[in-house]
Amino acid sequence: MELNKVTLEIFSKLEQKWLYHCEGKKTRVLSIDGGGTTGIVAGTALIHLENQIQAKTGDAHSRIADFFYIVTGTGIGALFAAMLTADDGNGCLLHSAKDAVAFVGGKSAELYMERRVDIFRRPRMFSGRSMDKVLKEALVREDGKALTLRDTCKPLLVPCSDLNSSVPFVFSRADASKSPSYDFELWKVCRATSANPSMLKPFALTFVDGKTSCLAVDGRRRLTRPGSGGRNRALRGGAWR
């Protein structure tokens, strides 16, 4: 999909205002919205941004997460955020934007595999089991270790809503660093924020300590702009770990 002229002009202005003045100490938050079942707009934007960063720095190995303090997202945006911040085990970023977008694009049919339609023609629903399989494949190291919130190179924030308590819940590396109880596997984090009730059943999630549970639905129901959550955490100093 090619970006239209207006979109490219917007990107160019943002780059001039941000990328070419990156020497300062401003707090930069990368917020990636869900973007439906394909994430094609977010994916195209991420590849474009990474290409511009590499052109500016002259380093073909530069990654987007190197230039942001906090990364946040919902839905497929959370999957992009998790992949872009994932640690390869040696303190380096595991995926480039191109790798992440190529993976999501190649697995889109499995991420959102439509369940068999019944005779009553109810609204289409997608297979949670198929999505689980793809997320587990995306968020694992080469040695087979399932990545957790602690296994990220940059602070990561992912919101969801808990139907049990009727309040929003935000997964964060800062909380995981403070307490093992909040160190969730990244595939479960992405699954929780992707559970749009109109497409998927709520995702039952048990905390690592086994004492608390959460019945999660997608984060957009409570936090439509994940960037605002990242900004607030940064202002409070709660994500700098």
The enclosing H or E element of 157 equals strand 156-162
Angle, in degrees to the nearest 10, between helices 76-85 and 40-57:
30
DSSP string, 46-114: HHHHHHHHHHHHT-TT--GGGG-SEEEE-THHHHHHHHHHBB-SSSSBS--HHHHHHHHHHTHHHHTPB
Give the residue numbers annotated as catalytic, written as ranges.
Answer: 218
- Most distant CA pair in the chain: distance in Å? 60
User: Is residue 84 a contact partner of residue 40, using CB atoms and an 8 Å limit?
Assistant: no
Size of the chain, expressed as the number of residues it contains: 241
Residue corresponding to tokens 């139907």: 163
Q: Using CA atoms, how far apart are residues 49 and 43, in angstroms rounded to an integer?
A: 10
Secondary structure of residue 43 in the 3-state scheme? helix
Q: How far is CA 125 from CA 96, 108, 113, 139, in A?
A: 31, 15, 9, 24
Nearest of 189, 139, 151, 157 to residue 68 by alpha carbon: 157
206/215 Cα distance (integer angstroms):
9
